[in-house]
Structure formats: C-alpha cells, structure tokens
Structure 1
Amino acid sequence: MNPDAGTLWRGPRWTLAVLLACLGTVGPFSIDTYLPAFAGIAQALDATPVQMQQTLSSYLLGFALMNLFHGALSDSFGRRPVVLVGTAIFALASLGCALSASIGQLIFFRTVQGMSAGAGVVVSRAIIRDMFPPSEAQRVMSQVTLFFGVAPAVAPMVGGFLFVHADWHAIFWFLVLVGTALFVANWRLLPETLHKDLAQPFHPRDLMRGYWQLCGSRKFLLLTIASGVPFNGMFLYVLAAPVFLGEHLHLAPTQFFLFFLFSIGGIMGGAWFSGRLAGKIKPRAQIRRGFFIMLAMAVLNVVLNLALPPSAWWALPVIGVFALGWALMVPVVTLMVLDQVPERRGMASSLQACISSAANGLVAGVLVPLVMHSTLGLALASAGMMAIGLLAWLWVKREV
C-alpha cells in the first residue's frame, strides 16, 4: 500500500471506485455494445458466422496478450501513464472499427481494441491495493464490481438502439466517444498511486524471470483459475448471445438487454453482498458460499434444459443467480492473487488477467462455436467451467 494514499485522493472513496469501475468496464462494454448488430455487420461486410466469431475471439486474445505487459509496465513507469496510453489507443482503435470496409479490417482493429482495453482492467486492480488496506480493499473491489455491472447492462440497449436507428458503424463511433471521455477524465482526475520507492526497474530479463516464478507458483495459478474460469460459465452465454437469445429464446435484438439485466444484475447483487460481508465473515466462508450458489445453478440449468423447452422465463434468472455467486466470491480471490507478490502487484494482476482472458478467448474461439447451437450443450459447458474453478479452489484452499 502507498504510504501517501491518504493524500492522493481527497474526494469520497466511492468516487474513486466509480472512476476505476469505468476503466474496468471498457472491455465488456466493447463486447456487449455490438452484439445486437452481429447479423447486420455480417450482412454488410459479407462475413460468415465463423468470421464474425473471430471479431470476438481476436479481441479476447489481443486482450490476453497485452495483459502480460500492462501491469508490469505500470510497476515500472507508473499506473497513470499506462492508463492514459491505453485509453488513447482504445479510442483510435474504435475509430478504425467505425471506418472498416471489410471483415479483415474489422478483425484487425478489434484486436487492437482488445490489446488496449486491458490497461484499465489490469491497472485498476493494482491501484486499489496501492490505495487501500486489505479489508477496505475488498469493499472497494466489490464497489468496482458493482459499478462494473451498470455499463454492460446499458451497452446492449445502446447498441441495439444505434443499430436499429442508425447502422452498425454508429456503435463504434459511440465507442470512440467512450474512449475519448475516459482519456479526458483520467487525465484530469487520476493520481499516480505507485509510490516512487516501490517502482521496479524495467528489464525484460527480470520481467520474464518474474513471470516464470509466478507461473511456477501452484498457489498463484490455482487461485487464478478459481477466480477466472468460472466466469466463463456465464460469459459463454454472452459470447453466444446472438444465437442463444435470437434463435433459442426468440428474442429480438432490442430485447437482448433482458439477458444483460439478469446477468449483470446478478453480478451487481453478488458484488453488493461481497462488500457487505467484508470483515464480517472469513474470506474462505465467503468463497464457499459463492461456489455453492454457482454449483446449485449449474446443476439446475442442466436439469431444466433436459426437462423443458428453451424459455427466457427460466433460463435468464438461472444465469443471473449463477453470476451472483461468481461476483460474491471473486473480489476475495482476486485480492488473494494480488497479495501473492505484494512488491509486484501490477505483474500479478497482468498475469492473472492474461490467463483469464486466454481462457475467455479459447472459450470464444473454440468452445462456443461447438455448443452454441444446443441449449443443453451450453448448460453442460457452463457447468464444466464452474467445475474447473471449484476443483482449483478445493485444491488450494488449505494453503490460503
């Protein structure tokens, strides 16, 4: 923690949480906003379903690749410069998407979007531990997760409105405005939270050695898997939304927001409960509750898909409660990950985000195309993602 943290941000602490949450929402906002326009973009650019899926997987893989460096760079050059450069590149990449005249160009600029969007997600976590002691950090992490839920809930409504009343280009012009606004807000408000005495020299060899040591830490890897992989139990439904919502549940593009209201509402509810429980129960008990909720919903989801025809009235609430369970436990596990290497929290956040994003990219590029045409396949894949995270936690819980 920065010893000068008390003097760096003089406003209410919740306003800092809002600023950090806005940085963290850039990634999911860039996905959720354009999903309602999937079919329209494919028609306009003469793209196949596989090529459209690549606009998602390339974004996620670019996100994962650069996440290896955002946090480590912030450990050396400061949190503020990395955030500002990242938001500036995001705005420019969104401009490239808006001007794309072919599916190849769109995939390229989506990759650049992903590579830049990770700066806010990764560095905001390190800023929280720069500024707050452990128990308060959990509350702020929960607040960030809570605010994080607002933008993705609004994003598909905005995307659907822009697509219906303008065209798909307008969605990316809107993201240009989002990136520009974030750059201006952080330029004016975000302080440098990395204390000068804690700055690490930037040497590629030392950086690779640090990553190698983290990758050799069984505790770090298991905690990262426990926090990141279960998210895909919900996220694969986001990635499959055009098929899941349009073909299986028969929702119109302007109704996609119902899915995001349930899923993001679940995240916000879980984050709120997580903040309320901070310091009141043991972290392991809170994590156990989160996994129990996810396990119950995963089993219920499979049973309902076996017994009933697909229907929004039961499918969406089940996904929402699953998301609540994930959000209840993830702030606690994330802080455990960051505290594995207190002197290099930026690096830890980078590697955690890289592993999680690589898993997201594999789910988007490999798993979702295999299962998205079957609601039972989606339910079984969701349960599998949760089971991987649960097994990782059961393996490591005695050591934390």
Structure 2
Amino acid sequence: MNPDAAHLWRAPRWALAVLLAVLGMLGPFSIDTYIPAFAGIQQSIGATPGEMQQTLSAYLFGFAFMNLFHGALSDSFGRRPVVLWGLAVFTLASLGCALSQTIGQLVFFRALQGLSTGAGIVVSRAVIRDMFPPAEAQKVMSQVTIFFGVAPAIAPIVGGLLFAHLGWHSVFWFLVGVGLVLWAANWRLLPETLHVAHRQRFAVRDLMRGYWQLCSDPRFLLLALASGVPFNGMFLYVLAAPAFLGHHLGLEPTQFFWFFVLNISGIMLGARASGRKAGKLTPKRQIRDGFLIMLVAAAVNLVANTFFWPQAWWAIWPLTVFAYGWALMVPVVTLLVLDLHPERRGMASSLQAVIGSTANGLVAGVIAPLVMHSPFALALTCITMLGVGLLSWVWLHRRWPEIGRAVQTG
C-alpha cells in the first residue's frame, strides 16, 4: 500500500471506485457493444460465421498477450502512464474498426483493441491495492464490480440501437468517442498511486525473474484458475449470444439486452454482497459460498437443458444465479492473488488476467463455435468450466489450508 494514499485521493471512496470501474469496463464493453451487429457486419463485408467469430478471438488473444506486460510496465513506470497510453491506442484501434472494409482489416484492428484494453483492467486492480488496506480494498473491489456491471448491460442496448438506425460502422465510431472521453477523464482525475520506493527496475532479466517467481508458485496458478475459468461458464453464453438468444430462444437483436441486464444484475448483487461481507467472513468461507451457488445453478441449468428445449422465460435465470455466485467470490480471490507477492502486484494482476483471457480466447475461437449449436452442449461446457475452477480451489484448500483463513481487517 502507498504510504501517501490518504493524500492522493481526497474525494469519496465511491468516486474512485466509479473511475476505476469505468476504466476497467472498457474491455467487456468493447465486446458486448458490437455483438448485436454481428449479422449485419457479416452480411456487409461478406464474412462467414467462423470469420466473424475470429473478430472475438483475435481481440481476446491480443488482450491475453499484452496483459503479460501491462502490469510489469505499471510496476516500473507507474500506473498512470500505462493507462493513458492504453486508452490512446484503443481509440486509434476503434477508429480503424470503424473504417474497416474487409474482414481481415476488422480482425487486425480488433486484435489491436485487445492489445490495449487490458491496461484498464490490470492497472485498476493494482491501484485499488495501492490505495487501500485489505478489508477496505475488498469493499472497493466490490464497488468496482457493481459499477463495472452497468456497462455490459447498457452496451448491447446501445449497440443494437446504433446498428438498427445508423449501421454497424457507427458502433465503432461510438467506441472512438468512449475512448476519447475516458482518456480525458483519466488524464484529469487519475492519480499516480505507485510510490517511488515501490517501483521495480524494468529489465528483461528482472521481468523474466518476476514471471518465473509467479508462474512457479502453485498457489498463484490455482487461485488464478479458480477465478478465471469459472467466469467462462457465463462468458460462453455471451460469446454464443447470437446463436443462443437469436436461434435457440428466438429473440430479436433488440431483445438481447434482457439477457445482459439479468446477468449483470446477478454480478452487481453478488459484488454488493461481497462488499458487505468484507471484514465479517473469512475469505475461505466467502469463496466456498460462491462456488456452492455456482454449482447449484450450473447443475439446474444442465438438467433443465437435458429434458427441455430452452425458453426465454426460464433459460436465462440459472445463468443469473451463476453470475451472482461468481461475483460473490471473485473480489476475494483477486485480493488473495495480489497479496501473495506484494512487491509485484502489477505483474500478478497481469498474469491473473492472462490466464483468464487466454481461457476467454480459447472459448471464443475454439469452444464456442463447437457447442453453440446445442443448448445442452452449452450447459455441459458451462458446468465443466466451473469444475476446473472448483477443483483448483479444492486442491489449494487442501494443500495450503492457511490461505484465506483469517478475516481481513484494516
């Protein structure tokens, strides 16, 4: 924690949470806004469904790759420069998407978007731990998750309206505007939270040593898997939204927002509950509760899709409950990850995001196209991904039972 934290931000804590949430939401916002325009883009530029899916996977793999460096760069040069450069590149990449005339151009600029947007997610986590002690950090992390949840709920509504009235290019022109506004806001408001004494020397050898320190720590890997892989249980449905919502549930693109609103409501309620439990329950208990809720929701979803063809009035609710359970436990897991190696919080945040976003990229480019044709296959894949995260947590719990045992205070 920065010893000068009390002097860096004098406004209310929630105001910093809003700034960091808006910064961190840029990644999912860039995905959800253009999903309602999928069919229109495909028809306009003559792309196949598989090629359109690659606009998602290119973005996610770009996100995963650059996350290897966002945190390390912020540990060396400060949080603020990495954020501002990331927003600048994102704005230029969005401009390229808006001007794209072929699928190849769109895939390229989507990858460039992915390379840049990770800066917001990675650095915002490090900023929270720079500024607050553990219990306060969990509350702020939960507030960030609540505000963060508003963007993906709004994004498909905005994207659907823009596409319907102005065409698909307007979706990316809108993201250009978002990038400009966020750059100006963070240039004006975001303080530099990394204390000079805490900066790490940026050198390839030191970088590799830091990566090895984290990657060779099984506690880090298991915690990252426990939080990152279950997220894909619900993210799979976001990626498969055109097929799941449009084909299987028979919804129009302008009706997609119901799916996003309900799932984001689950995330917001879970994050709010997580914040209220900070300093009252042990992290281990809270993580257990989150996994139990996700397991019940995923099992109900699988059983229902085994015996019935999905209908919109019931098929979305298990995913909403799943999202609640994930949001209940993920702020706690994230803080446990950041505190394993306090001197490398930026790098730890990066590698945690890399594991999650690599899984996202595999789901987008490989798994989703294979299973989106079948509601049962989607449900089975969802519970399988949850199983990976649950097994990772159980292994960690048995091998290092002291992790997460104490209530975090201060």
Task: Provide the residue aligned with 1:153 in structure 2.
Answer: 153
Number of residue pairs aligned between Structure 1 and Structure 2:
400
Give 2:235's aligned amino acid: F
- Does residue 265 (structure 1) correspond to residue 270 (structure 2)? The answer is no
Task: Provide the residue aligned with 1:309 in structure 2.
Answer: 309
Spell out the pairing of 1:177-192 with structure 2 (5 A cutoff): 177-192=177-192
Q: Deviations over 1:121-171 (max 9, x none)?
A: 000000000000000000000000000100000000000000001100000
Task: Provide the residue aligned with 1:286 in structure 2.
Answer: 286
Spell out the pairing of 1:1-400 with structure 2 (5 A cutoff): 1-398=1-398, 399=400, 400=403
Alpha-carbon distance in 2 for matches of 1:312, 1:86? 38
Alpha-carbon distance in 2 for matches of 1:206, 1:34? 39
Give 1:116's aligned amino acid: S
Q: Secondary structure at the match of 1:3?
A: coil
Q: Secondary structure at the match of 1:137?
A: helix
Q: Secondary structure at the match of 1:149?
A: helix
User: Percent of pairs identical after alignment?
Assistant: 70
Give 2:15's aligned amino acid: T
Alpha-carbon distance in 1 for matches of 2:344, 2:392? 23
Deviation at 1:309, TM superposition (A): 1.4
Q: Deviations over 1:93-148 (max 9, x none)?
A: 00000000100000000000000000000000000000000000000000000001
**TM-score w.r.t. length of structure 1:** 0.99
Alpha-carbon distance in 2 for matches of 1:275, 1:168? 38
Alpha-carbon distance in 1 for matches of 2:320, 2:297? 9
Alpha-carbon distance in 1 for matches of 2:42, 2:53? 10
Q: Deviations over 1:211-235 (max 9, x none)?
A: 0121111000000000100000000
Alpha-carbon distance in 1 for matches of 2:212, 2:362? 22
Give 2:61's aligned amino acid: L
Deviation at 1:316, TM superposition (A): 0.8
Give 2:87's aligned amino acid: T
Deviation at 1:312, TM superposition (A): 1.1
Q: Deviations over 1:183-214 (max 9, x none)?
A: 00000000000000001100011101110121
Q: Secondary structure at the match of 2:340?
A: coil
Deviation at 1:73, TM superposition (A): 0.1
Deviation at 1:310, TM superposition (A): 1.2
Deviating runs (4+, > 4 A) in structure 1?
none
**TM-score w.r.t. length of structure 2:** 0.97
Alpha-carbon distance in 2 for matches of 1:307, 1:262? 24
Cα RMSD (Å): 0.5
Deviation at 1:364, TM superposition (A): 0.7
**Greater mean deviation of Cα atoms: 303-312 or 51-60:** 303-312
Alpha-carbon distance in 2 for matches of 1:318, 1:351? 30
